[in-house]
Structure 1
């Protein structure tokens, strides 16, 4: 599996387009991006950054652009010559492979339209199911690079159809990772958690992200999506997570966040959540659009977990548990209560939080009554139909 386009460059572009990120981070991304463009003759990407994104950190040089464009043109002509020779020799496989190489060249250079068009041509010429799936994976990565979520979603569905027709073990596992990262990017955290956690032990999709990154994505998705018990078994005690703790410092805030939530150490949980927001959410192109939602949802989860153990609790005690002021807690809870995302009421006169969780037995009783009403209605309709049928026979 080829690794074009280079998705790390898409992350660098995101960093340069986010002025609130640290200057040192922006300088690193600027240097990497300029070096990659010059060494890889990425003229289309260079033009895209100048015209579509107008990135001031990437200075425009017309002569440099023309030189890189000429080099790409020569490379494409050389590949097309090889394809023409294969056409004369009648080599169908060689023809398809030739167009794949042309498509990958355009993908690497950063020309979305030419790359996609050429790869679709190669797809139509390719006889093998596995090779067709690989081409679609490349088209998906192009969509990911240019943040075309609609295209990524469509192509993932096409891959699923081919996989169901006979995709091999490796490509099935790759699909889990691709689908998991896509789900993460569109805020489907539950689906992302299941897919990414399931892909850890068989991960091979290094063209999409590193193993360390996919572990972090899995931990983030699981943190907000899984219940307390599965969070313990699938994340906290996960061999894949534990094996990286000592060698990957970036995972430490995530581990602290999930562990402290499980252990009900809410002050540590809130501190870790702030660090996760700064070190993982705001700086990542997939997660940044959902950072505020994620932090808010994790706070809600922490509040709900603590309140499950009480019928009433003082605002002061709860604020101390989370390491925040009473004013902050009062204001934050007030965002969730009207939407019924936290089942409690605040007695500000007495400084008390009272839980009002729905009674499970009462809920079951109401469900039983509702189902009984539905059954009775169906029986009445059936009885009416039987009587009408009998009347017709008598007549």
Structure 2
């Protein structure tokens, strides 16, 4: 595996290219370039099993001579690595033995052999004493998990890392783990937790091996907009110097954030339409595209309606720069699912808000929880009496 020198790991970059190569919205000319880059990366890294699977899926063309050469190089490299392990075990110390096993682990990661890589990482861990080195092995496993989008492996690895940190650990690795966990949460549609983890890491970001700082800010803004209230958004995102230093480099993102906070709804939807292409072409966000659009729409519609007890449909349509029919259809959908608290008077062309009373809602929740607690106590008392 490549050294962590401030650049994205090659196998993570390859995973993104593979995603784009099979994406329906990427044009054919771009796919020709991507196919050449993927083939070059696969051949350079001797990823024989991946090459076979891509050939079966008709993503790449099968060349048996190329495959045979890759297999031969893999066989030769494995023999060299095994010889180094044997020599270290016979003639050198525990540290050299660990390093030899680690080299074999990284070789399996490089060629894309997931099962053997996990097995060898486990063997390497058994020969590792330092908590920091064990933590680094977890990061290698996490990168492998994100390459294959294996969320079960990622979840277990995050839990394992947290257990390791209970016995101590340096802040640099703890902060790196927050970014990995944030990416996992975002990829599994837990945007609120992802935003919290990303914001905690904004001034300590060092995980360039999985994505750049610009991409990190992109994810932070997107997740924060649908997760934070207006006051928190202003304090943690809109005015954050780390975000202000980067946000202008990302097309449409600054307008997207500031127009939402400034209630410039026409500009907001214009910027959002410009961002949708970036979201669709992101391998972590693309599966949640429709969900994200609904959540963003809920935020912006709620923000507009909070200012009114009643407003005409025509005025709202004009504010958003869309047709009355579009607003009517959109709001009907969100009202039906309980996302918006208002009702539509179709005859008068008026929207009437019916925001729930927060104090009354809290009272009702307390009563409900109290009844539940009393029922549990009564059941427990019957058991004790017996």
Output the TM-score relative to the length of structure 2.
0.91
Partner residue, 1:351: 349
Shift of 1:92: 1.5
Shift of 1:55: 3.7
Shift of 1:47: 2.1
Which of the two has higher C-alpha Rg? Answer: 1
Q: What SS does structure 1 have at the residue aligned with 2:126?
A: helix
CA contact (8 A) 2:251 2:275 kept: no
Looking at structure 1, the residues matched to 100 and 172 of structure 2 have their Cα atoms a distance apart, in angstroms, of: 24
Q: What SS does structure 1 have at the residue aligned with 2:208?
A: coil
CA contact (8 A) 1:5 1:141 kept: no
CA contact (8 A) 2:191 2:223 kept: yes
Aligned pairs for 1:60-209 within 5 A:
60-209=62-211
Looking at structure 2, the residues matched to 106 and 366 of structure 1 have their Cα atoms a distance apart, in angstroms, of: 57
Aligned pair count? 375
CA contact (8 A) 1:5 1:107 kept: no
* Structure 1, unaligned runs of 5 or more: 390-395
Looking at structure 2, the residues matched to 371 and 127 of structure 1 have their Cα atoms a distance apart, in angstroms, of: 48
Shift of 1:239: 1.3
Partner residue, 2:340: 342
CA contact (8 A) 1:5 1:145 kept: no
Q: 1:128 to 1:350 in 2, by over 3 A?
A: same
- Residue range with higher mean Cα deviation, 108-117 or 27-36: 27-36
Shift of 1:13: 0.7
2:330 to 332, 343, 349: 332
Q: 1:63 to 1:302 in 2, by over 3 A?
A: same
Q: What SS does structure 2 have at the residue aligned with 1:200?
A: coil
Pair 1:297-2:299 in alignment: no
Output the TM-score relative to the length of structure 1.
0.89
1:309 to 307, 310, 322: 307
Q: What SS does structure 1 have at the residue aligned with 2:327?
A: helix
Aligned pairs for 1:171-320 within 5 A:
171-246=173-248, 248=249, 251-278=250-277, 280-320=278-318
Q: 1:328 to 1:152 in 2, by over 3 A?
A: same
Shift of 1:362: 3.5
Shift of 1:361: 4.3
CA contact (8 A) 1:16 1:55 kept: no
Looking at structure 1, the residues matched to 89 and 195 of structure 2 have their Cα atoms a distance apart, in angstroms, of: 47
- Residue range with higher mean Cα deviation, 178-187 or 225-234: 225-234
Shift of 1:172: 0.4
Looking at structure 2, the residues matched to 296 and 337 of structure 1 have their Cα atoms a distance apart, in angstroms, of: 12
Looking at structure 2, the residues matched to 361 and 245 of structure 1 have their Cα atoms a distance apart, in angstroms, of: 38
Looking at structure 1, the residues matched to 192 and 212 of structure 2 have their Cα atoms a distance apart, in angstroms, of: 21
- Residue range with higher mean Cα deviation, 106-115 or 184-193: 106-115
Shift of 1:9: 0.5
Q: What SS does structure 2 have at the residue aligned with 1:340?
A: coil
Q: 1:374 to 1:10 in 2, by over 3 A?
A: closer
Partner residue, 1:41: 46
Report the aligned-residue RMSD: 2.3
Partner residue, 1:393: none
Shift of 1:364: 5.0
Aligned pairs for 1:49-60 within 5 A:
49-51=54-56, 54-56=57-59, 58-60=60-62
Looking at structure 1, the residues matched to 191 and 185 of structure 2 have their Cα atoms a distance apart, in angstroms, of: 7
Partner residue, 2:13: 8
Looking at structure 1, the residues matched to 16 and 328 of structure 2 have their Cα atoms a distance apart, in angstroms, of: 38
CA contact (8 A) 2:312 2:350 kept: yes
CA contact (8 A) 2:224 2:237 kept: yes
Looking at structure 2, the residues matched to 99 and 370 of structure 1 have their Cα atoms a distance apart, in angstroms, of: 58
- Residue range with higher mean Cα deviation, 37-46 or 337-346: 37-46
CA contact (8 A) 2:12 2:210 kept: yes
